Amino acid sequence: MSTTPFEKLITRNWGKPGSHTLDGYKKNGGYKALEKALEMGPAAIIDAVKKSNLRGRGGAGFPTGMKWSFVPRDSPKPKYLAVNGDESEPGTFKDRYILENDPHMMLEGIAIASYALDVHTCYVYLRGEFKKQAEILQKALDEAYQAGIFGKKLLGRDYPLDCYVVRGAGAYICGEETALLESLEGKKGWPRLKPPFPAVVGLFGCPTVVNNVETLASVPHVIERGAEWYAKLGPERSGGTRVVCLSGSVNRPGVYEIPLHVTVRELIESPQYGQGMPPGRKVKAVIPGGSSAPVLSGDEIDVALEFEALKNVQNMAGSGGVIVMDDQTCMVRALWRVARFYAEESCGQCTPCREGTAWQTRIIRAIEEGRGQPGDVEKLLNVVQAIAPYPPIGLGNTICALGDAAALPTHSFVTKFRAEFEAHIQEKRCPFGAGHHGWGHFGSGGFA
Amino acid sequence: MANEALFTPAEQMKFDQELSEILSHYPADRKSAAMLPALRLLQSIKGWLPPEGMTLVAERLETSVARVYEVATFYVMFHTKKPGKYTIDVCTNLSCSLRGAESLLAYLEKKLGLRAGEMNEMFYLRETECLASCGTAPCLQVNEEHYENLTRESVDELLGKLT
C-alpha cells in the first residue's frame, strides 16, 4: 500500500467553479489525455487499458481492456460504443453525480475509447429519469462539438466522431448491456441470449462495446498518468480508485471516491466519509454493492470495498451502492423492499425470474404482515434455488443476471437473519412494526 | 364521430421538426430505433400517448402499431392512459425506506386522498423504483422533476405549488 496521500481522480473537479463546463474541465487539465491518446494510436491505448487493470464500474467488474480487445478489428461493419448510464440499481447514484459535476471527463473517455476501437458513432444511454443530467450532458457535448473535439474531426484529425444522448423511459433491466442495446434499437428491454457477445454482435448487429459512465471517466486517467501508475493505485487485478455511494442509516450519506483498501466499516465510520451511525444506533447489516449483492451482517463489515476482497467473502463489489441498516431495522421488511423491486423490474422473459420474483415477494410480504406459515422460510429458499440454483454464486436459470440479483439477496437475508423471519411467523406479526406504514420497521427515518 | 386533430398546427410543426432531428441520429434503414425518443416527444406534447399518436409514430418510424404498443407499455414513464395533471412518483426502495419513504408515501396518500396507484384529474400517485437519489432520500418525482431530502414542510410547499 502506498504511503502518499490519496489522490482523487474521478471526483477531483467536483465543487470547483464551472466543473461541468468545457472551460472548467480544460482549466483542470482536461482533454490532454485525448491528445496523448491520438499520439499513441489504437493498439497502444487498448494495451494501456489492459495493463491498467481497469475494471468495469457498472456492476460486473469485467476487465475493460479485455472487453475492448474482443472487438474484431477487421470487421467490415461499423462499430459502436454504447455508454451505460442507466444507473438504476437501488443504492447507486454515482454516475448521476459524474454526469452533473464533470460530464467532460466521461466525454474525453468516450473520445479516447472510440478512437481506440475504430468507433465513429457513440450513444450515451441515460435512464429516463435523468432529465437534468441529460440536459447537462447535452450542453457539454454541444461545447465539445463546437471546440472540434466531436463532429467531423477529432481534435483536428481526419476522424469523424458523433455522439448522441438517448434517454430510456423507466426500466431497470435496460442497465443489462444487451437489454440496453435492444432499447437503443427502439424495442422493449429484453436481454439477449449470449453468446454472441455485444463485442461481436451488438447494436444493429454490429460490433459494440458497452461501458459504464464511471468506467469511461476513468480512461483519461489511465492514458494521462500511464497504465502502471493506475494499476498500482489498487491491489492486484483492480486498478485505480472507486466511487462508492453511501446511503441508509448513516450520518453523512453521499458519494465518496475511495482508495481500494477502504473497508465497509471505515466507509461508515470515517470522519471523511459516513461519519458514523446516528446516535445510539449500531450497524445491523450492510449491502455492499447495490441491492443485487448479498447482505453482510454487522460483524462481517471489515472487508475492503474491492472486487477480489468481496468476492473472497462470496459477495460482490457490484455498482458501489453501500446501504446501511441499523439495529432498529426489520430485516424482513428490508428484504421485502428489495424483493419488490425485482418483481417490478423483471422483464418477464424467463419463467424462473418472472414467476420467482413475484412469488418470493408474496411470501416475504406475508411473513412481514404476520400471515406467514410454518415452513415459509424453507419455501422461500426453494423459490430462490429455482431462480439461482447455486447460492451464493450466481449463474442461474435465466438469460440475464436479474434472476440471480433477485435470488441472492433473499438467500443471504434468510440464512443470516433466519431467526427474525421465524419470529415473525411464530408471533404472527412484525416484532418491529408499529402498524401499517409505521415508523417501527425502519426506526425513525429522515421524513418526520 | 368526427376525429379531432391530434395536434394543433404548432404542435405538428414541433413534432415534425424534432422527429426529423431525432431520426438523423440513426442509420437511415433503422428508423424504428428512434422509438423511445419519438414516444417521449409525443408525450411531451400531449401529456400522454393517445392511440392516434402511437399510430402516427408507427407510420413515421415505418413499423407496426403493435411494436409501438409493445414499447409504450413496457416502460413505466410512458402513459398509455391519460394520467392526472401531475404524476407523483414516490421512491419506496430500501435506501429511501430507511429514511422515511413509507411515511412520506402515507403522508401523500392522506393529503391527496389517493392510494398509491390511484389517480384523479389532478394527481396520479405511484410508488416507483429507485430514482438514484439514495444519498438525498427520501425523494419523489413530479412529472420529470426531482425533489429530494423531503420533509413535511417541503412536501407541503411542493403540493402548494401544484395547481
d(CA A69, CA A49): 10
- Å between B160 CA and nearest CA of chain A: 18
Q: Around Cβ B73, how many Cβ atoms within 10 Å?
A: 12
Q: What is the pLDDT of residues B54-107, one digit of tens each?
A: 999 999 999 999 999 999 999 999 999 999 999 999 999 999 999 999 999 999
Q: Hey, of B23, B67, B74, B150, which one would you mutate to test binding to chain A, going by the most A CBs within 10 A of its CB?
A: B74
pLDDT recorded at residue A7: 94
Query: Of A243, A244, A246, A242, which is closest to residue A275 (Cα–Cα)?
Result: A246
- Å between A321 CA and nearest CA of chain B: 9
> A365 is written with which cell numbers?
410480504
Q: Cell match 487498448: residue?
A: A46
pLDDT recorded at residue A440: 56
pLDDT recorded at residue A1: 47
> A31 is written with which cell numbers?
482533454
The domain that contains B125 carries what CATH number? Answer: 3.40.30.10
User: Does the CA dihedral A91-A92-A96-A97 come out positive or negative?
Assistant: positive
pLDDT recorded at residue A5: 79
Average pLDDT over residues A14-22: 95
Of B21, B44, B74, the residue that ends a domain is: B74
Peptide bond into A392 cis (omega under 30): yes
Within a domain: B56: yes
* Residue B29 belongs to domain spanning: 9-74
Which ranges in chain A are annotated with CATH 3.10.20.600? 242-326
CATH topology for A331-427 is de novo design (two linked rop proteins) (1.20.1440)
| Residues B15, B38 within the same domain | yes
Q: What is the pLDDT of residues A207-254, one digit of tens each?
A: 999 999 999 999 999 999 999 999 999 888 889 999 999 999 999 999
- Å between A89 CA and nearest CA of chain B: 7
Query: Of A374, A373, A248, which is closest to residue A322 (Cα–Cα)?
Result: A248
pLDDT recorded at residue A443: 61
Q: How far is CA A203 from CA A65, A206, A207, A442, B134, in A?
A: 20, 5, 7, 43, 31
Asked if pLDDT for residue A279 goes beyond 70, the answer is yes
Within a domain: B80: no
pLDDT recorded at residue A434: 59
Phi, psi of A322 (to 5 degrees): -105, 115
| Residues B52, B112 within the same domain | no
Q: Is B96:B134 a contact under the CB 8 Å cutoff?
A: yes
Asked if pLDDT for residue A2 goes beyond 50, the answer is no
| Residues B93, B153 within the same domain | yes
d(CA A352, CA A367): 22
Residues from chain B contacting residue A170 (CB–CB below 8 Å): 75-78, 128-129
Q: Identify the band that residue B3 occupies on the pLDDT scale cut at 50, 70 and 90.
A: low
Asked if pLDDT for residue B6 goes beyond 60, the answer is yes
Tell me, yes or no, if B145 comes closer than 8 A to chain A by beta carbon: yes
Nearest CA in chain A to B141: A129
Tell me, yes or no, if A372 comes closer than 8 A to chain B by beta carbon: no
Average pLDDT over residues A149-165: 96
Query: Cα torsion for A394, A396, A400, A401, to the nearest 10°?
Result: -30
Of B74, B104, B126, the residue that ends a domain is: B74
Residues from chain B contacting residue A129 (CB–CB below 8 Å): 77, 131-132, 141, 144, 146
Assess if CATH 3.10.20.600 describes domain A242-326.
Answer: yes
- Å between B104 CA and nearest CA of chain A: 6
Domain count, chain B: 2
Q: Is A304:B75 a contact under the CB 8 Å cutoff?
A: no
Question: Pick the residue with more confidence: A76 or A434?
Answer: A76
Residues from chain B contacting residue A88 (CB–CB below 8 Å): 129-130, 132
Which ranges in chain A are annotated with CATH 3.40.50.11540? 22-233
d(CA A360, CA A384): 8
CATH number for A22-233: choose from 2.60.40.730, 3.40.50.11540, 2.60.120.10, 3.40.50.300. 3.40.50.11540
Of B74, B105, B123, the residue that ends a domain is: B74
Q: What is the pLDDT of residues A380-431, one digit of tens each?
A: 999 999 998 876 666 678 999 999 999 999 999 999 999 999 999 999 999 9
Contact pairs from chain A to chain B, CB under 8 Å:
189
Within a domain: B57: yes
